[in-house]
Amino acid sequence: MMRIVLLGPPGSGKGTQASALQQRRAIPHIASGDLLRAHIADNTDLGRRARPFMDRGDLVPDDLILDMMAARLVEPDAQNGYTLDGFPRTVAQARDLDQRLQALGHRLDAVIYLRVPEDELLRRLSGRRICPNCNAIYHVDTMPPNQKDICDHCGSALIQRQDERPEVVRNRLQVYAEQTEPLLEYYQSRRLLHEIDGTIGVDRVLAEVAEAVGRASQQVAGEHRT
């Protein structure tokens, strides 16, 4: 049982790492961005309230995020652990998460921070394209489709998400620096933070994430024995 937070700016590779942890440890990958986009697609009240913030690249207000995540974390598949991707994004959210976990008799086991320079983040995000039909993901430089702007799998026209346009990406990175980076100090003070270079290649990052989670798992097991 592991409860993990993945931190890192947009485009740092959190989704890739969380998906790998889901396969290796059989714990769900809970991505706040995916949940928000699902609410927007379903035109829920939360989705309608969150959409203007996401379109600008701003953080969605805490009350919306906290209500959404609190409901997700008590679902049956999350009772044996999870990897949180994109949440918490502020120290206030982190403190609220701690309080909610404590009320359930739970706690976080590890916080993984993927460090990536801004110019690389801009390249990764602004070049990404997705298929609106089958959700396949491409990149204009590193993983282009066989036919320009056409999905290899279903033939649909690829799109660029509104929040991945260059001007929005720059705003997202600025917002991240101002509001999310203080989380590093917060989790460092609690001795939960493991920092990893997110530019060393997917396989090496996967190996270092697995090593960090393994160390955290051993620490938790040792605490349970004492």
Whether residue 1 is predicted with pLDDT greater than 80 in this model: the reply is no
Catalytic pick from 14, 72, 124, 129? 14
pTM of the model: 0.82
Catalytic pick from 3, 72, 128, 129? 128
Q: Is 56 a residue of the active site?
A: no
Catalytic pick from 3, 72, 129, 172? 172
Cα of 34 vs its chain's centroid, Å? 9
Whether residue 221 is predicted with pLDDT greater than 70 in this model: the reply is no
More confident residue, 112 or 58: 112
Q: Is 48 a residue of the active site?
A: no
Quote the percentage of the chain above a pLDDT of 90: 56
CB atoms within 10 A of CB 112: 27
pLDDT at 3: 94
Of the candidates 72, 81, 75, 82, the one whose C-alpha atom is nearest the C-alpha of residue 36 is 72
Q: Is 128 a residue of the active site?
A: yes
Residues carrying CATH 3.40.50.300, the chain: 2-116+165-225
Q: At the top level of CATH, which class does the domain 2-116+165-225 belong to?
A: alpha beta
Q: Is 89 a residue of the active site?
A: yes
Whether residue 183 is predicted with pLDDT greater than 60 in this model: the reply is yes
pLDDT at 226: 55
Whether residue 120 is predicted with pLDDT greater than 90 in this model: the reply is yes
Q: Is 172 a residue of the active site?
A: yes
More confident residue, 222 or 45: 45
Task: Give the confidence band of 150 by pLDDT, cuts at 50, 70, 90.
Answer: very high
Mean pLDDT along residues 86-115: 92
Mean pLDDT along residues 9-26: 88
Catalytic pick from 51, 56, 100, 161? 161
Cα of 37 vs its chain's centroid, Å? 13
Rounded CA separation 135/48 (Å) = 22
